Amino acid sequence: MNDDLNISSLLRSRLDALEPPDSLPSETAARAKRRRRQSAALSVLGLVAVGIVAALFANSVLGTDLFDAAGREVAAHRLTPSRVAELGLCARDDHHPRSLINNLYRSVLMLQDGSDPFPYVPVKRREIRRISRTVWTFRASGVRFEARTVSPRKDCWVLASVTTVGAPPPVEKLTAEESRVSFDLDWGKAQSADVFLSDRPSEAEAAVAFSDTPGSAVAFSVYLFVPTEQPFFASVALSRNGHVVSLEQGWYRAP
Amino acid sequence: MAVPVEGGRLEELYLQHGRPAFRLACLLTGDEQEAQDIAQEAFVRLGGRLVTLLDPDRAAGYLYRTIANLSRDHGRRLRRDRSLRDRLRSPERPVSSELGDRDEVWRALMRLSIRHRTVLFLRYYLDMSEASAANALELSVPATKSATNRAAKALRAELGGQR
């Protein structure tokens, strides 16, 4: 191609006359060696840094924050109770929906016999540094209860659950509006409703509506999971038919 | 003075690629003194990578790429210096080794981008195949082909504009 030849000859005519030194300057070899050593040292440092980051990541996902990661999955509605059971995470009490979640969180909440119908006993495991809870019991009679919990901490997880006691009342509706979760309870099998997790880690909301069934009771349990031993601030509001009937807020500590 | 390095491999590479490397640096910087420095620095860097660059083609590609990158850095430094001088209103630094005003063709070449000059050098001066030039530039073969066409077109435009 004529153009090619022109460009080649143009370049040759201007560059061929330029001659470099006959050999490399004497310090070139020493500089190259130094550079190679620096590169090797940087590679090792890089590997160490990658290892540290990987270890931190593994620890955060698989270690103490395991429940946190799992909670996110539940909150994102990717992990249904049946899926949890499939994964073998549910072994304690298959007919109790909450136990699925409890097992998932590596915590054990046991219903005890006695006068108090809600003596859930949180058993601390190594993976969970902190569990707190607030329980209310109400007589339910054609009312709608809502529990809303907020913590300014972004590294804690809030769970709201509802449990009925006595004769299981017919449920008209059971939703957690803000978390966009809805469950239909099978009252013939369990007296306990399910656990609600919000999409946002530090907030949870559960709502339930009952028809007139005197003599039944309902409890909202709010569990706050924080991955540190530090005290944390949280507020829990319970409303009935849209009006706040109970507001509790303050600093919570490990039991 | 010849320098035996890495069993003479660096020196061997210098004997093989020293001349074109220097000329590429001249083409990219327009300054013989700078070209010598850049070529030496490129060989230093190549010497630091000899363990991993066992394939001679890859070593050459690395060398030419390094020269292009160093020349680009040099250009940036030069522009900063000029800007500073303009602000300080000091006279232009006299550079005895500049190849700048040799002729119209040279000036046209100097107006091309570093990438265009590099690809023209590899394809038209060294007669590298598209695949080898692509390897040296770390581009795909189609991208290298396209860059070559654009560079030739730009050079023709520069020369046409002068005439």
Tens of pLDDT, residue by residue, chain A (255 residues): 445 558 888 898 889 888 888 877 777 878 888 888 888 888 888 888 887 777 666 555 443 333 344 344 333 333 444 444 443 333 333 333 333 333 333 222 222 233 322 233 333 322 233 333 334 444 444 445 555 556 555 555 555 555 544 434 434 434 433 333 333 333 333 333 434 444 455 555 555 554 444 444 455 555 555 545 555 566 666 665 566 666 666 665 544
What's the whole-number average pLDDT of chain B? 82
Closest chain B residue by Cα to residue A18: B23
Phi, psi at A99, each rounded to 5°: -60, -25
Torsion of CA B152, B154, B155, B161, to 10 degrees: 140
> Does the beta-carbon distance from A19 to B3 stay under 8 Å?
no
Closest chain B residue by Cα to residue A29: B5
Q: Specify whether the CB–CB gap between A217 and A145 falls below 8 A.
A: no
pTM above 0.90, yes or no: no
Residues 6+ apart with CB under 8 A from B116: B147, B150, B151, B154, B155
Rg (CA), chain B: 17
Is pLDDT at B119 greater than 70 in this prediction? Answer: yes
Measuring CA to CA, which residue among B40, B54, B3, B62 is closest to residue A29? Answer: B3
Question: What is the C-alpha to C-alpha distance for residues B142 and B133, in angstroms, rounded to an integer?
Answer: 11
Q: Stretch B17-26: mean pLDDT, rounded?
A: 92
Amino acid, res. A220 = F
- In this prediction the ipTM stands at 0.80
Question: Nearest CA to CA, how far is B76 from chain A (Å)?
Answer: 23
Question: Nearest CA to CA, how far is B48 from chain A (Å)?
Answer: 4
A217: tokens are 């009771």
- Which of B12, B19, B22, B23 is the best substitution to test chain A (most A C-beta atoms within 10 A)? B23
Question: What is the C-alpha to C-alpha distance for residues B30 and A82, in angstroms, rounded to an integer?
Answer: 72
Q: Specify whether the CB–CB gap between B47 and A28 falls below 8 A.
A: yes
Q: Stretch B28-47: mean pLDDT, rounded?
A: 88
Say what the pLDDT of residue B151 is. Answer: 93
Q: Quick check: helix, strand or coil at residue A139?
A: strand
* Residues A58-78 pLDDT 10s: 555 443 333 344 344 333 333
Say what the pLDDT of residue B53 is. Answer: 79
Question: What is the C-alpha to C-alpha distance for residues A233 and A253, in angstroms, rounded to an integer?
Answer: 9
Phi, psi at B42, each rounded to 5°: -65, -40
> Does the beta-carbon distance from B43 to A28 stay under 8 Å?
yes
For B65, other C-beta atoms within 10 Å of its C-beta total: 16
Say what the pLDDT of residue A110 is. Answer: 27
> Does the beta-carbon distance from A32 to B1 stay under 8 Å?
no
Q: Where are the beta strands (DSSP E) in chain A?
A: 108-110, 121-123, 130-139, 144-150, 157-165, 171-176, 181-182, 192-197, 203-210, 217-226, 232-240, 243-252
- Which of A13, A18, A38, A39 is the best substitution to test chain B (most B C-beta atoms within 10 A)? A18
Of A8, A15, A20, the CB nearest to B36: A20
Say what the pLDDT of residue B120 is. Answer: 94
Question: What is the C-alpha to C-alpha distance for residues A189 and A193, in angstroms, rounded to an integer?
Answer: 11
* Residues B63-110 pLDDT 10s: 999 999 999 888 887 777 776 666 666 554 444 455 655 678 888 888
